[in-house]
Amino acid sequence: MSDNISRSICVYCGSRDGTDPAYAAAAEELGAGIAARGWRLVYGAGDVGLMGRTARAAQAAGADTFGVIPKHLLDWEVGKRDLTRFIVTETMHERKKVMLMNADAVVVLPGGAGSMDEFFEALTWRQLGLHDKPIIVMNVAGYWDPLAALVERITGHGFADASLTDLFQIEPDVAATFTALERLL
């Protein structure tokens, strides 16, 4: 991390835009807000969907960008090669590790199975004490309500201690997410 970057935010999000225009708007607002704070965006290096929107907004506002993509997704996710730093990994697992290890916090925007996989891996690693980075789920338009209910079900049925819910927080929008990040970092 260069000396002029105070924080790096890892963003997990969809490689599609989704059906609600609020998702795209939140991705763009998040990217611009990362730049406005002088922070670096760490993300999956795609140039499609919410990933591309977040990165383009961050770049347009002057952010340092750090993208990590496995070689098998270079064409599918249209690897965005004009980033400040562009890393190609061998595997998805390596991608997730490089992204998390190069970030100070995680923000989860709406997304699909890949975003859930990234969230649960970051959550599990935090539960196991492998990192202590804040994890914020941005619940744009209530998108992640079922995820919150699932985690409550997991703890309620005894498959995890109730403290699991203390390892991440859910925020309703970009403004609340930045308020939480500024408090936690």
Q: What is the pLDDT of residues 17-50, one digit of tens each?
A: 999 999 999 999 999 999 999 999 999 998 999 9
**Is the distance from CB of 95 to CB of 63 less than 8 angstroms?**
no
pLDDT in tens, 101-119: 999 999 999 999 999 999 9
Distance CA 29, CA 71 (A): 29
Q: Could you give the CA distance from residue 120 to residue 113 in angstroms, rounded to a whole number?
A: 10
Q: What is the pLDDT of residues 116-159, one digit of tens each?
A: 999 999 999 999 999 999 999 999 999 999 999 999 999 999 99
Residue 8: strand pairing partners:
40
| pLDDT reading at 4 higher than 60 | no
User: Positive or negative CA dihedral for 11, 17, 23, 24?
Assistant: positive
State yes or no: pLDDT of 1 exceeds 50. no
User: Domain extents for the chain?
Assistant: 8-180
Fold (topology level) of 8-180 = Rossmann fold (3.40.50)
